[in-house]
């Protein structure tokens, strides 16, 4: 098992390096400060892992022609994201409900939300007539979340980092393998 703080740093670094997050003022500061120093001094392992995960994909040229293998991208280790997002979900659960998530419950995470899926997920969260908005969790607007609380420890969360990267998680009793939408919600 790796220390969770290393996974948190990994996720932060990956998110800060994505094109969608690049305009956020905190990202700019992190890239010029903490992340740049990390790459220069401390984390040869992180730098090596990121370099190994670079792949190429096609890119659409300005003339509308696909150019194969012309655009480098980093394929993240989503298992590391999932560990961090489970921790965040448990923290949010405690923050909102003022009690820890029961040990007979578990947290499921979808770390690969595509931007076009976000409106559908928001619509699902708002299906019961509740008007939900992303709530800022810090003064720098780095992290925002929205949630829906059901019964039997069932909750559903959307988390947005740096005004771009969105992740979906939910809590449910351990004896269920997937959330049962419509039942108990």
Give the confidence band of 36 by pLDDT, cuts at 50, 70, 90: confident
Burial zone of 87 (CB within 10 Å; 0-12 exposed, 13-18 middle, 19+ buried): middle
Helix (H) or strand (E) holding 173: strand 165-173
Residue pair 77/93 in contact (Cβ under 8 Å)? The answer is no
Burial zone of 137 (CB within 10 Å; 0-12 exposed, 13-18 middle, 19+ buried): middle
Is it the case that residue 180 has pLDDT exceeding 90? no
Instruction: Look up tokens 């909102």; give the residue.
Output: 96
Average pLDDT estimate for 176-185 = 54
Q: Which residues of 8-35 are buried (b: 16+ CB within 10 A; e: fewer)?
A: bbbbbbbbbbbeebeebebbeebbeeeb
Q: Is 76 helix (H, G, I), strand (E, B) or coil?
A: coil
> What ranges make up the beta strands (E) of 19-142?
54-60, 66-74, 105-110, 135-136
Nearest-angstrom CA–CA distance, 125 and 133? 10
Domains of the chain in start order, with CATH, are: 4-74 (no CATH), 78-173 (3.30.160)
More confident residue, 168 or 20: 168
Is it the case that residue 184 has pLDDT exceeding 60? no
**What are the pLDDT digits (tens) for 148-159?**
888 778 999 999
Ranges 12-16, 71-75, 97-101, 170-174: which has the least confidence: 71-75
pLDDT for 64 equals 76
**What are the pLDDT digits (tens) for 117-143?**
999 888 888 886 666 788 999 899 899
Q: Compute CA 172 distance to the chain's CA centroid, rounded to the nearest angstrom.
A: 19
């Amino acid at each position: 098992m790796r220390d969770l703080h290393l996974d948190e740093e990994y996720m932060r670094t990956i998110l800060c390096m994505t094109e969608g997050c690049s305009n956020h003022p905190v990202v700019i500061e992190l890239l010029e400060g903490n992340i740049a120093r990390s790459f220069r001094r401390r984390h040869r392992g992180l730098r090596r892992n990121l370099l190994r995960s670079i792949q190429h994909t096609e890119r659409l040229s300005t003339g509308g022609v696909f150019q194969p293998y012309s655009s480098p991208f980093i394929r993240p280790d989503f298992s590391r994201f999932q560990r961090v997002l489970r921790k965040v979900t448990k923290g949010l659960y405690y923050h909102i409900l003022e009690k820890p998530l029961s040990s007979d419950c578990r947290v499921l995470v979808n770390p690969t939300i595509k931007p076009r899926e976000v409106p559908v997920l928001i619509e699902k969260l708002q299906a019961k007539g509740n008007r939900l908005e992303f709530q800022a969790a810090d003064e720098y607007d780095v992290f925002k979340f929205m949630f829906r609380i059901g019964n039997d420890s069932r909750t559903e969360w959307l988390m947005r980092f740096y005004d771009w990267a969105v992740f979906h998680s939910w809590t449910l009793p351990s004896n269920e393998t997937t959330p049962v939408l419509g039942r108990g919600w």
